[in-house]
Structure 1
């Protein structure tokens, strides 16, 4: 898989600038030379953001496994902001910031792989402020508060770092962090990270929706299978009930017919009328014919 990179000469110089390139003072308030530089920075940052969006789309359409997807995307983002290392950090169900595999630039034994940083919506730590408050102060090419946080959790050798919130709509998934820029990070770099994080958040939402749909389809198939089994059981039970009813009816009919024959025979023996005897003989014949229809 080819990793998207920015053309040579893209890197914005300096660390000045506001939170987003679109807010740079390039509207005539600057001298012509500075205005041109500001315009060039804006164009380069927009080009980098476009590449980041394209990378998210390309890697997603390739239907990669999530670790491979995040590994390629982290490498692309690192190239766009001039970082040696980039990592997506996800909020766990317990509210801790943990690594979303795979990062770029970190060895297999790096402490970032076992990272656990508490990040609560109402927390006042730098992780909570970045994720839930979108706070990021870049001074001299880095966020000193973030540098201290990484060192506190055993991630050594960091020259500088920045991080932004990783959202999915109104929900916060975690953070996207970049480390070790030779020139120092700028607000333009932070803006590029935000674009990449938002696009990745959309992919995350889509994956979740797919998983939920798969679960719903599986449950529906299970419900339909259970319904078919229930109908089969009802039909089978109905057949068995009909057989039992027919058998009981057959036995009861034979018993009644036999009793009727015995009763008629007794009446005929007691009768002294030839006419009654003839009628009783006829009735006995009829009962015998009925009995013949119900084999014993």
Structure 2
């Protein structure tokens, strides 16, 4: 992800200088987790470099975050000109920009700049959600636990709680204004909890029927990924459908998730056959 100095993707400690002031690349930049870029020209270089390395889409940090230490949730990041520069550079490669953002100011600025998807958005107001519905802007939403990680500061734990507690109102507004929604866990860089991420699927049952949840995590997600056009790694086949020539990971479930979405949580027990790209990865049927 691409971040301004002091943005959500800036994981330097307080004593590290930015490159522009004589500093060195941070560890997060060296492992390609984040890239810090400021100003229109800097953003253009960062986007073009990211696309050169094979990115299917571009993610900017447009507002404060939980895991970053020095940016409060309410701050807005990048100017409209900077975000628009990223949008223009991505469009030249036939793909799109999504932004990490929670607040109305950050999201409205991103929409004005031409961004097509908002990641998170749990602190949005009704007017902003309505605007997203009118303009066809995607909302990639997560229903998170309110507890923070053990390594979080008290401030970070409070930010996590604020975000988690905002999901209910925003999801209800998104349904009201028919906002296009996608889904993700926002779980990464933390292998011990990855095994529990299917529990986040079941959490969506608070707002959607089991059928709607399954559609959200498969067909709807596929529609968002399709915005990458020819940059998509799946360009040779369709996503989110079961038909000849389509990409599909097929799962045989012991139970009926259309009646009880919770059968998706205990996947070790309930996923009895897993096929990916035509290869069987698990078969506990004894056949």
TM-score under structure 1 length normalisation: 0.24
- Max radius of gyration: which structure? 1
> Which structure has greater helix proportion?
1
TM-score under structure 2 length normalisation: 0.25
